[in-house]
Structure 1
Amino acid sequence: MRRSTIRLITVLATAGVSAGLLAGCSSKNQVPSIGYAVDAVVASYNGGSTLGASSGSAAVFGRVLTGFFYTGPDGQQVADTDVGTAKEVPGETQTVQYRLNPDGVYSDGVQTSCDDLVLAWSARSGKFTRPGEGGPVPLFDAASTEGYADIERVECQPGSKDATVVFRPGTHYLPWRTLFTAAELMPAHVVAQAVGVPEVVSALQSGDQAVVQRIADFWNSGWTMAPGELDLTAFPSSGPYRIESFDAEDGLVLVANEKWWGSPPQTSRIVVWPKGSDFAAKAKDNALGVVDLGAGSVPELSLEGFDERTVPSRSAEQLVLATGGVFAPVEVRRAFAQCVPRQALFDTLGSAGEPPQHGLGAGPLNSRVVQQDSLYYPAVAGTADRYRGTDIPAATATLASVGADQPTVRIGYRAPDARRAQTVAMIAESCRGAGITVVDAGTPDFTPAQLTQGAVDAALGGTAAVPGPAGSATGVPAFAALRAGNGLDAGGFGNGRYDAITDQLAGETDSTATLNLLTEAENLLWAQVPSIPLFATPRVIAFGNGMQNGIAGPTQAGTGWNMDRWVLQR
């Protein structure tokens, strides 16, 4: 399926970045190892956790941990039939039948099973909680509960290849293909072994709070990754690649998974160089074959010998604002939006070449939840017009209305990043006129959690504050990042009406009703200002000369979405 998808995209995708095909050139030899530079952060193997999703696990582990669907290069969900099949069953209640490939096996020899689906649903359903001072606290630190919270039960005989997912009566989750996907379907047998239970299905169904807590603790932190500190027995692969090693000097080394049952990867070794690597030095040393980085983030990067292009991505470059501290009064958030030079930021930093008249990258991004190439975007985007440029007198007056005298705003982001540093500098220069002091709080260890903790007042990043590849055509992460209680809601925004709109949109099939709901959502968000969208994040995507099957993926899956098909000849 993936190979046929690649062939189709190679023929049809006019916006894709494709390396020159050099097959059959007898004077060249295939390179046995390809270096992949991508500004995701390798922090967690678990893409469904808050840490994994907010660091960009999907851009690194999509061909290591497979799922029933993966994000294709245009941001669409594509079925991965090597993993198994998923189909809706006709009936009054939404039901999806999942069947794992009978040959599916992890790299440690354990069969894939429906236990993995039960674990994913349990972790992300929001149903397991403990008492807290402000009310129930989730046991699992899930990035979001979108879709999973609508599931009533997962029917699974432990160890079986079949699962039936039954949604709650009266609900219909349209983007169900975003569930149980690549980089998010985790090995349940590893959890069972770690917490000392025969299998997780019965343990989760038992209602034993202590056992469930141990499962949640491992799911939350058992797959955390730091260079040089991996017990690889906890990191088995269900894809064409498996982890061989991870350290600061040699990068994240992925090698062919001998137990993979599908077509073997065409290059046996991929070295992932994540955020924090010296990308310029790696390029100079000829250690890279594929590059996928934020445009302008590495100013000294020289890509001679590459087919290079800058493209707008499906990630929304944005400021995510805290809803406490200096930004607790909504008026201060509005004043800040009035002094942020959104048009100038786009003109200087956000344009991927000559902007198109319409679609991705056509101008400043005026919506948080609707893509610029959506048919709904023109009708929804008008709400942002009053924040298109800057209005310093209005910002000054807005601050004065609540007695906010000379506020200071600390903007955090994952450093080093030259473009984001310049973004902060331009905002600081503009907002100084309104009496707002902007501090560059970018650090090499920044995470969106620092916004939750009050260490910064705003986070600068892509969709859901992710530092590297982000965004999808479905927009599920964008909606989730503003929903109360989700791990991706780093700013702590909570609005009951917005949550209700999100729920309704998930099952709405009428286009007029959808437009009305999207318009109401964007009106509400511009009134409350939990974030400030800037532009579709431009990305530099480059393939070394001699690369075959390289196709840009300016989405949450990154350009490594099909790394198992890469061939580099030199």
Structure 2
Amino acid sequence: MKRGILTAAAGVAASALVLSACTPPGDGGNGGNGGDGGNGGGGEVSVMWNQPFYSMNNNTSATNNVTNANVVYMMNEAFKYYDENLELQDNTSFGTVEQVSEDPLKVKYTYSDNAKWSDGTPVDAADLVLAWAARSGNFNTTEDAERDDEGVVEDAGGDVFFDAAEPGLALIKDFPEISEDGKEITFEYTKPFADWETNLTIGDSGVPAHIVAKNALDTGDAEEGKKAILDAVENEDKEKLAKVAEFWNTGYNMTSMPEDEDLLIGTGPMKMTDFKEGQYLTLEARDDYEGDRKPQLSKITVRYNEDPMAAVQALENGEVQLINPQSTADVLQAVEAIDGVENNTADGATYEHVDLTFDNNGPFDPASYGGDEEKAKQVREAFLQSIPRGKIVNDIVKPLNDQAQIRNSFTQVPGSPDYDTIVQGSGIEDTYGEGDAEKAKQMLEEAGVDEAPKVRLLYAKGNARREQEFQLIKESAEKAGFEVIDNSSETWSEDLGNGEYDASLFGWQSTSTAVTESDANFRTGGQNNFGGFANDEVDKLYDELQTETDPARQAEILGEVEKILVDEGFGLTLFQFPEVVAYSDQLQNVKPMTVSPTMFWNFWEWQM
């Protein structure tokens, strides 16, 4: 099966979505001593999250996950960031971005003198050029590569294969203009791009070119490494780029403190000093950080635990000071019963959905019916019709938010200006409503399949809410004539796109407000298109959306995309995540935000 190109989990890229296991949890106990850290304003905080960190490069299709994005964000700078009001803020102590030409579109990135990697190496053109080359997909010489069971690239057969491809960056074809000091980089787009301001500007600094070169090309000092990267990209040196891509794809993956601490080099105010597999990760303030986001705390420890009630218990016991557990009625009730705790409960930016797999010889793949696309579509539609969306919302979500409703859009949040228009145009509500097992049974009979289709449903193992959703889906779908197999996995996010499941249940969380954010989810070969969906008309619509600046036409385009998704049985949206952020009243300046990096966005302002 072809695994998609990208972040997002959307890499957690601009104009992308990131995978969300739900939200955070934690593990009790002491965090360990760690290495030498810097000095913030004083104080230490422990946070609980529900999935362990596993990569310093969160821009590949296998690592595009909010759990990575949060940590990478605290260890790195970026040109811009979102505040709690979703307003894009400039981080001028790191650099600036400006449009210097409208036709053709040219964008200049300028790094400040304070922009340095934590080993003292200046951030410059080599780093930005590497980020563009890797994440654009323009230098790949093969469409995909061999992957392991978790979706990580194992072997590209000597070809160039960066495991990423952001549509916006793909519009930059030519090597950029670079100033003599390497601090100013100007990219020219082949056509207008509505979301240029979030291209290469939010989330992180990428990975350091000189460290990638040292590992991939066996270079010496930083200057030699930077030059090697620039030369390889400018000359399209396939032999060297293949080696660079191999390291970029996998070299930053880790489950504990790496032996090579160069892999932890970042540009931000925090550095990793301890990482115990599956338990906790410790960040400490850097003494030598020169930017504006100097942290008030000296240490932030992120603890890991899938169990939301364990997170609540740890908060009550004072083992952690901040949690964002998967919300259930029991969790909310338990949080509200704790003295000395502030609680913020609201709908978040993550939405729950079911996606189907089109290209794995499974029940939704035309290949299973001798290439009969209509029969495969009928089976897809019957399964989606069987999903009891109304019962899922009533039983699981409304106990947390009595105003909760089914989400009926793949691209719009309920209540947003274009939501009602797009929903009406797509027909999703009329087509699937709250779910109807009897209607689904009739549809399956009309499809004329010989035996009950076996549907392997992938979701996060140990995730209480997803387990509840799975049981409701299984009960309803089996009434309709399907056999639903529990394919839950602790490595669900890495498993996405491996072809060993037929439907997936997870959440997407936004990383930006870009209008093209959903592109990678539905475009043919898109990085977040894990189910192999392919539709030429959808691709053309996203091509148009990239250059469209009229908000009214943008909404029309997204509406047309959504109608095709409904008509083709792509998948089904379920609900907007209700989120609970709870924290000690001794912890100040926590301001939850609805896009990644969520509550971590202003970590430098936290105080104890």
TM-score range, shorter chain: 0.7 to 0.9
How far apart, CA to CA, are the structure 2 residues paired with 1:184 and 1:355? 41
Counterpart AA for 1:222: G
Q: Is the 1:128–1:139 Cα contact (8 Å) retained in structure 2?
A: yes
- Of stretches 505-514 and 426-435 in structure 1, the one that deviates more from structure 2 is 505-514
Aligned counterpart, 1:272: 302
How far apart, CA to CA, are the structure 2 residues paired with 1:369 and 1:171? 22
Pair 1:313–1:127, CA change in 2 (3 A) = same
Once the two structures are TM-superposed, the CA of residue 55 in structure 1 deviates from its matched residue by 5.3
Q: Tell whether 2:568 aligns with 1:544.
A: no
Name which of 232, 238, 247 aligns with 1:203.
232
Name which of 183, 186, 191 aligns with 1:161.
183
SS of the equivalent of 2:71 reads helix
Pair 1:379–1:232, CA change in 2 (3 A) = same
- Of stretches 118-127 and 292-301 in structure 1, the one that deviates more from structure 2 is 292-301
Q: Is the 1:51–1:143 Cα contact (8 Å) retained in structure 2?
A: no
How far apart, CA to CA, are the structure 1 residues paired with 2:282 and 2:328? 26
SS of the equivalent of 2:602 reads helix
SS of the equivalent of 2:62 reads helix
Once the two structures are TM-superposed, the CA of residue 477 in structure 1 deviates from its matched residue by 4.3
Name which of 410, 416, 428 aligns with 1:384.
428
* CA distances 1:42-99 after superposition (whole Å, capped 9, x unpaired): 1211121112214542223212122112243344543222211111113411111111
- Of stretches 401-410 and 500-509 in structure 1, the one that deviates more from structure 2 is 401-410
Once the two structures are TM-superposed, the CA of residue 434 in structure 1 deviates from its matched residue by 0.3
Q: Is the 1:539–1:554 Cα contact (8 Å) retained in structure 2?
A: no
* CA distances 1:7-55 after superposition (whole Å, capped 9, x unpaired): xxxxxxxxxxxxxxxxxxxxxxx97210112235412111211122145
Q: Tell whether 2:128 aligns with 1:93.
A: no
Name which of 262, 270, 278 aligns with 1:233.
262
Once the two structures are TM-superposed, the CA of residue 301 in structure 1 deviates from its matched residue by 9.4
Q: Tell whether 2:98 aligns with 1:109.
A: no
Q: Tell whether 2:326 aligns with 1:294.
A: yes
Name which of 539, 556, 564 aligns with 2:604.
564
Q: Tell whether 2:391 aligns with 1:344.
A: yes
Q: Is the 1:553–1:559 Cα contact (8 Å) retained in structure 2?
A: yes
* CA distances 1:417-452 after superposition (whole Å, capped 9, x unpaired): 1111101111112212101222332222222x4342
Aligned counterpart, 1:17: none
How far apart, CA to CA, are the structure 1 residues paired with 2:516 and 2:63? 16
Aligned counterpart, 1:256: 285
* CA distances 1:202-248 after superposition (whole Å, capped 9, x unpaired): 12222221100010011100110212445221220111111112113
Counterpart AA for 2:382: A
Aligned counterpart, 2:409: 367
Pair 1:108–1:266, CA change in 2 (3 A) = same
Pair 1:395–1:54, CA change in 2 (3 A) = same
Aligned counterpart, 2:363: 326
Q: Is the 2:142–2:161 Cα contact (8 Å) retained in structure 1?
A: no
How far apart, CA to CA, are the structure 1 residues paired with 2:438 and 2:513? 38
* CA distances 1:356-405 after superposition (whole Å, capped 9, x unpaired): 5xxxxx52111111222421111011221121212223312322233333
Once the two structures are TM-superposed, the CA of residue 509 in structure 1 deviates from its matched residue by 2.0
Aligned counterpart, 1:424: 470
* CA distances 1:183-215 after superposition (whole Å, capped 9, x unpaired): 352211111111224221112222221100010
How far apart, CA to CA, are the structure 2 residues paired with 1:355 and 1:142? 42
Aligned counterpart, 1:20: none
After TM superposition, the score normalised by the length of structure 1 is: 0.86
How far apart, CA to CA, are the structure 2 residues paired with 1:279 and 1:424? 23
Q: Tell whether 2:201 aligns with 1:180.
A: yes
Pair 1:225–1:77, CA change in 2 (3 A) = farther
Once the two structures are TM-superposed, the CA of residue 516 in structure 1 deviates from its matched residue by 2.1
How far apart, CA to CA, are the structure 2 residues paired with 1:208 and 1:515? 41
Pair 1:33–1:510, CA change in 2 (3 A) = same
Q: Is the 2:195–2:516 Cα contact (8 Å) retained in structure 1?
A: no
Q: Is the 1:410–1:456 Cα contact (8 Å) retained in structure 2?
A: yes
- Of stretches 520-529 and 328-337 in structure 1, the one that deviates more from structure 2 is 328-337
Instruction: Map 1:29-108 onto structure 2 (within 5 A).
Output: 32-54=43-65, 56-108=67-119
SS of the equivalent of 1:456 reads coil
Q: Is the 1:93–1:166 Cα contact (8 Å) retained in structure 2?
A: yes
RMSD: 2.6
SS of the equivalent of 1:115 reads helix
Q: Is the 1:70–1:77 Cα contact (8 Å) retained in structure 2?
A: yes
Q: Tell whether 2:393 aligns with 1:393.
A: no
How far apart, CA to CA, are the structure 2 residues paired with 1:444 and 1:491? 19
- Of stretches 396-405 and 311-320 in structure 1, the one that deviates more from structure 2 is 396-405
How far apart, CA to CA, are the structure 1 residues paired with 2:351 and 2:332? 25
Once the two structures are TM-superposed, the CA of residue 157 in structure 1 deviates from its matched residue by 5.2
Counterpart AA for 2:500: A
Aligned counterpart, 1:219: 248
Once the two structures are TM-superposed, the CA of residue 343 in structure 1 deviates from its matched residue by 2.0
Q: Tell whether 2:137 aligns with 1:126.
A: yes
How far apart, CA to CA, are the structure 2 residues paired with 1:522 and 1:133? 27
Counterpart AA for 2:135: R
How far apart, CA to CA, are the structure 2 residues paired with 1:498 and 1:255? 45
Counterpart AA for 2:109: Y
Q: Is the 2:56–2:263 Cα contact (8 Å) retained in structure 1?
A: no
Aligned counterpart, 2:485: 439
Aligned counterpart, 2:575: 535
Once the two structures are TM-superposed, the CA of residue 281 in structure 1 deviates from its matched residue by 5.3
SS of the equivalent of 1:374 reads coil
- Of stretches 218-227 and 410-419 in structure 1, the one that deviates more from structure 2 is 410-419
- Of stretches 397-406 and 112-121 in structure 1, the one that deviates more from structure 2 is 397-406
SS of the equivalent of 2:75 reads coil
Pair 1:133–1:67, CA change in 2 (3 A) = closer
Aligned counterpart, 1:454: 499
Once the two structures are TM-superposed, the CA of residue 284 in structure 1 deviates from its matched residue by 4.8
Once the two structures are TM-superposed, the CA of residue 471 in structure 1 deviates from its matched residue by 5.0
How far apart, CA to CA, are the structure 1 residues paired with 2:108 and 2:283? 32
Counterpart AA for 1:444: E
Pair 1:471–1:487, CA change in 2 (3 A) = same
Q: Is the 1:143–1:488 Cα contact (8 Å) retained in structure 2?
A: no
SS of the equivalent of 2:138 reads coil
Q: Tell whether 2:538 aligns with 1:498.
A: yes
Sequence identity (%): 25
Aligned counterpart, 1:12: none
How far apart, CA to CA, are the structure 1 residues paired with 2:263 and 2:515? 31
Once the two structures are TM-superposed, the CA of residue 171 in structure 1 deviates from its matched residue by 2.8
Counterpart AA for 2:168: G
Q: Is the 2:141–2:161 Cα contact (8 Å) retained in structure 1?
A: no
How far apart, CA to CA, are the structure 1 residues paired with 2:327 and 2:70? 17
SS of the equivalent of 1:194 reads helix
How far apart, CA to CA, are the structure 1 residues paired with 2:384 and 2:84? 32
> Structure 2 unaligned runs (5+)?
1-40, 146-155, 366-375
Counterpart AA for 1:412: L
Pair 1:257–1:140, CA change in 2 (3 A) = farther
Q: Is the 1:316–1:471 Cα contact (8 Å) retained in structure 2?
A: no
- Of stretches 514-523 and 245-254 in structure 1, the one that deviates more from structure 2 is 245-254
How far apart, CA to CA, are the structure 2 residues paired with 1:482 and 1:187? 31
